[in-house]
Amino acid sequence: MSRKARPQERSRILVTGGAGFIGSNLAHRLAGEGHEVTVLDTLARPGVESNLAWLHASHGGLIRHVRADIREKDAVEDSVRDVSAVFHFAAQVAVTTSFSDPRADFDINVGGTFALLEALRRRGGRVPLVFASTNKVYGDLSDVPLELSRDAYHPVDPELRRHGIAEDRRLDFHTPYGCSKGAADQYVLDYARSFGVPAAVLRMSCIYGPRQRGTEDQGWVAHFLISAMRGRPISLYGDGYQVRDVLEVSDCVDAYIACARHMDRVAGRAFNLGGGPQNALSLRQLIREIEVLLGRRIDVRFSDWRAGDQRYYVSDTRLARQALALKPAMSWRQGLKRLAAWLQSEEAPEEQKLEAAE
């Protein structure tokens, strides 16, 4: 899955949630390499229909859409029947939604992942599965001593400050969303151990880039840019000094493909996937850069901290870079310019779609 596939090498690959932000970028890359991609997606999230239309327009018959919910057992079993790899993104993705409807959050994130694992176990044939997990499995990290400098929180511990949070950090699920994604994360790893399903987990930090239509609940880099471009205020929950590491979506896609390609040596393992310390920044620092990029001031408003919010999270990417042979990540300033250019190119049609969804 690293070069243009010849006809005799063409594979059929399943991407659940494949019309979403990361899923559509991955499906685009795979189809561009000549693979047939089955996109299983309910199209419930506003804006994803345009991602699917883009995939069809770009790749024609190499894209097959199955409009179904990940909880639909028969549809899932049909979709895995003839595929050579599975990338699992279908999920309930917002912490706030997990509080308003924790049952649905559990059913989608745990039940849907379990249904997919069972379908692969029953099918046999050792089909690789790469699961999209989250840094929220590590909890709110409230035990990590922090200091404030240059508009950002930083760990007091110099090793943690230099490298970020590693995979040996204890799991500590917070919020219904953290619990559901964390439980699914552990099911995937255990199916690799207990049943020999060749599966691995990527615990993602903040992914951003083209085809992201962010909201206050999810996709904050794009949300900040969209709001600023349209002259809308931005609400920061907390003090805005909280730090995240951001990863441009093309680098994220590289990691997923590498994980599937190297499954023989990474099955049963979890990796932190983010921009790392070199791409770590606070919310305030991002807003300041957007102001420079757009040449205008942004109206920033503050609200209370949200449950489970981490004041600091930066991925220690050393294990993933080594195991998956990843190249250095795109700098966040370069990636921000790339996302801004895409949003500007999509401005007219996307504004109509977003306004209709509000």
> What residues are annotated to the active site?
177
The residues, any chain, with a CB within 8 Å of residue 70's CB and separated by 6 or more, are 16, 17, 40, 76, 90, 91, 108, 112, 113, 115, 116
**Is 264 buried (19+), middle (13-18) or exposed (0-12) by CB count in 10 A?**
exposed
CA–CA gap between residue 170 and residue 172 (Å, rounded): 6
